């Protein structure tokens, strides 16, 4: 068989990198650079014998590998040129048929049926956008691994969970349980987390007869947060104090009520507590600052927020978002918004990331990672692919590139394709570890070997 010069050069380069990575792998000191990546073309022509050798070498590490998907709690060190801390607002409220046995309301709202599939294989969901992995379950460990690897590879430092209390009302208990299934994964990847409390749930808890008053309901929730989440070593802290949020407040709006709620904290252990912008006065001295959110007047809201609140010496949390396009009216949940903000092929996200005063914000909150109902999601979608995360990589200054995001996506797909195949799942666990160690070239090779040697022909 004759090869042209291009193919010979690709083969030579691939074999050199394979041999080099295998040799350095044994010393556990190999680190990828942006140049040490394999193109799809190069990976396609690697002989089966070489790929088998890659998996044979991974087999040699079995003695040192613990059972289960999480190999260790070693974290994932990510170097960023931009020191600004970035946190993703996260919705842990999705259920799907495959994992949970039913479709949750955030995929269906009142008008959509995900069991309806179009000619392109896309399910009918309550959103103008479609996740690149399809509609998922927040409880799925494959999903959690995928989301948080994507975040780490984009320079995100942690998540802020949208949290609906500790009691079993509506789907609030499901949201709490889903939130808590993320804890080991967060710790394993060295990510911080915080809680954004939706105080309107206190009214629902009271209405359900689960508390003696609205304030008592919120007090029970704050006790739960203090005893369950504040005890975690990776709960988000600012100046050595826990930092949490309230979306509003919307229901509890008097300082005396918040004084009563905050009595659950010893005086020297009160957290930093941030309200939605222009709402601090409802909480009084219990508030430490305010956070910005997406608004219909877009950048004018940013200007007003920074110009007003920086002068008051408040903790400031800037807001960056890709756009806003609510599905609530079409989904039968009522006309909650009469405005939208065009995604503009990434321009809106760039505008909010690079807004002049961002340098003065203490943190940046990404609004949001995955609110498909409001169209503010940054996670990869059919419509935008990796665009938003590529822009975020440039902003945070990580060394990773979009091709590295593809590795995390390919790992998720392999988790689904080879579910229950113990031999392959071992190699996928090794792939996860290689990504954690920033050995992306090695991770690509393992995935290529698995797909070639174990996949459907």
Q: Answer whether residue 226 is part of any domain.
A: yes
Q: Residue 358 gets which letter from DSSP?
A: G
Number of Cβ within 10 Å of residue 103's Cβ equals: 21
pLDDT above 60 for 26: no
Lowest mean pLDDT among 49-63, 185-199, 245-259, 393-407: 49-63
Q: Does 272 share its domain with 306?
A: yes
Q: Does 316 share its domain with 448?
A: no
Whole-number average pLDDT of the chain:
89
25 confidence band (pLDDT: 50, 70, 90): very low
Rounded to whole angstroms, how far apart are CA atoms 323 and 348?
6
Residue 368, H or E segment: none
Q: Answer whether residue 286 is part of any domain.
A: yes
pLDDT above 60 for 330: yes
pLDDT score at 20 = 42
- Mean local confidence (pLDDT), 215-221: 98
Q: Does 130 share its domain with 277?
A: yes
Q: Does 45 share its domain with 147?
A: no
pLDDT digits (tens, 9 = 90+) for 411-422: 999 999 999 999
The label of the residue with tokens 């309107």 reads 200
pLDDT score at 43 = 72
- Mean local confidence (pLDDT), 98-114: 98
Q: Does 185 share its domain with 263?
A: yes
pLDDT above 60 for 433: yes
pLDDT score at 29 = 32
162 confidence band (pLDDT: 50, 70, 90): very high
First-to-last C-alpha distance (Å) of the chain? 23
**Cβ-contact 244, 196 below 8 angstroms:** yes
Q: Closest by alpha carbon to 424, among 386, 380, 456?
A: 456
pLDDT above 80 for 32: no
The label of the residue with tokens 């760039």 reads 350
Q: Does 65 share its domain with 113?
A: no
Q: Does 270 share its domain with 176?
A: yes
Q: Does 212 share its domain with 272?
A: yes
CA angle at 369 for the pair 139 and 35, rounded to the nearest 5°: 105
Q: Which range marks the domain in which residue 361 is found? A: 85-403
pLDDT digits (tens, 9 = 90+) for 66-105: 445 555 677 899 999 999 999 999 999 999 999 999 999 9
pLDDT score at 19 = 45
Which residue pairs, CB below 8 angstroms and at least 24 apart, start in 174-180? 174/93, 174/95, 174/104, 175/92, 175/93, 177/139, 178/92, 178/93, 178/138, 178/139, 179/92, 180/228
pLDDT digits (tens, 9 = 90+) for 338-350: 899 999 999 999 9
The count of residues in the chain is 457
Q: Answer whether residue 152 is part of any domain.
A: yes
Q: Does 228 share its domain with 271?
A: yes
- Mean local confidence (pLDDT), 361-382: 96
Rounded to whole angstroms, how far apart are CA atoms 367 and 393?
16
pLDDT above 90 for 333: yes
Rounded to whole angstroms, how far apart are CA atoms 49 and 57?
12
pLDDT score at 35 = 36
Full-prediction pTM beyond 0.85? yes
pLDDT above 80 for 387: yes
pLDDT score at 27 = 29
Compare 444 and 314 and report the one with higher pLDDT: 444
pLDDT score at 69 = 55
Q: Answer whether residue 418 is part of any domain.
A: no
Q: Answer whether residue 182 is part of any domain.
A: yes
Partnered with residue 318 across adjacent β-strands are 364
Alpha helix ranges (H) inside 233-298: 255-261
pLDDT above 60 for 63: no
Q: Does 64 share its domain with 94?
A: no
Domains identified in the chain, total number: 2
pLDDT score at 45 = 81
pLDDT above 50 for 24: no
The label of the residue with tokens 């059919």 reads 382
Q: Does 393 share its domain with 439?
A: no
pLDDT above 80 for 311: no
Pairing relationship of beta strands 241-246 and 237-238 according to DSSP bridges: antiparallel
Q: Answer whether residue 441 is part of any domain.
A: yes
Q: Answer whether residue 416 is part of any domain.
A: no
Q: Answer whether residue 210 is part of any domain.
A: yes
pLDDT score at 170 = 96
- Mean local confidence (pLDDT), 40-69: 78
Rg of the chain over Cα atoms, rounded to whole angstroms, equals: 24
Query: What CATH number should be reported for the domain holding residue 91?
Result: 3.20.20.80
pLDDT above 90 for 356: no
Rounded to whole angstroms, how far apart are CA atoms 124 and 146?
23
Q: Does 278 share its domain with 364?
A: yes
């Amino acid at each position: 068989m004759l090869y042209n010069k291009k193919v010979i050069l690709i083969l030579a380069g691939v074999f050199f990198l394979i041999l080099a990575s295998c040799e350095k792998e044994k010393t556990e000191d190999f680190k990828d650079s942006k140049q040490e990546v394999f193109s799809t073309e190069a990976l396609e022509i690697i002989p089966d014998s070489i790929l088998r050798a890659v998996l044979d070498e991974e087999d040699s590490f079995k003695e040192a590998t613990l059972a289960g998907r999480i190999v260790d709690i070693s974290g994932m060190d990510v170097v960023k040129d931009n020191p600004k801390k970035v946190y993703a607002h996260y919705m842990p409220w999705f259920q799907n048929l495959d994992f949970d046995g039913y479709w949750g309301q955030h995929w269906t709202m009142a008008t959509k049926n995900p069991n309806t599939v179009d000619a392109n294989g896309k399910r009918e969901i309550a959103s103008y956008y479609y996740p690149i992995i399809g509609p998922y379950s927040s409880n799925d460990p494959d999903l959690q691994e995928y989301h948080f690897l994507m975040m780490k590879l984009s320079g995100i430092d942690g998540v802020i969970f949208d949290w609906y209390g500790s009691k079993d009302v509506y789907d609030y208990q499901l949201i709490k349980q889903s939130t808590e299934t993320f804890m080991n994964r967060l710790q394993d990847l060295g990510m911080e987390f915080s809680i954004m409390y939706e105080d309107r749930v206190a009214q629902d808890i009271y209405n359900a007869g689960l508390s003696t008053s609205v304030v008592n309901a919120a007090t029970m929730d704050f006790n739960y947060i203090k005893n369950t989440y504040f005890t975690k070593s990776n709960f988000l802290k600012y100046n050595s104090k826990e930092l949490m949020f309230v979306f509003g407040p919307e229901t509890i709006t008097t300082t005396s009520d918040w004084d009563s709620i905050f009595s659950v904290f010893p005086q020297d252990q009160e957290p930093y507590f941030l309200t939605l912008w222009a709402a601090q006065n409802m909480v009084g001295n219990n508030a430490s600052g305010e956070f910005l959110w997406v608004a219909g007047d877009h950048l004018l809201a940013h200007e007003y927020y920074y110009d007003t609140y920086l002068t008051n010496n408040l903790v400031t949390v800037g807001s960056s978002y890709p756009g806003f396009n609510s599905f609530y009216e079409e989904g039968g949940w009522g006309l909650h918004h009469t405005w939208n903000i065009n995604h503009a092929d990434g321009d809106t996200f760039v505008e909010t990331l690079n807004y002049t005063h961002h340098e003065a914000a203490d943190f940046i909150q990404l609004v949001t990672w995955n609110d498909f109902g409001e169209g503010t999601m940054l996670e990869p979608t059919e419509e935008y692919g990796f665009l938003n995360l590529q822009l975020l990589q440039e902003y945070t200054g990580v060394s990773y590139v979009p091709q590295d995001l593809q590795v995390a996506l390919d790992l998720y797909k392999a988790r689904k394709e080879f579910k229950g195949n113990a031999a392959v799942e071992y190699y996928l666990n090794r792939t996860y570890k290689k990504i954690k160690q920033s050995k992306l070239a090695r991770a690509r090779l393992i995935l290529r070997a698995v797909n070639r040697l174990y996949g459907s022909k």
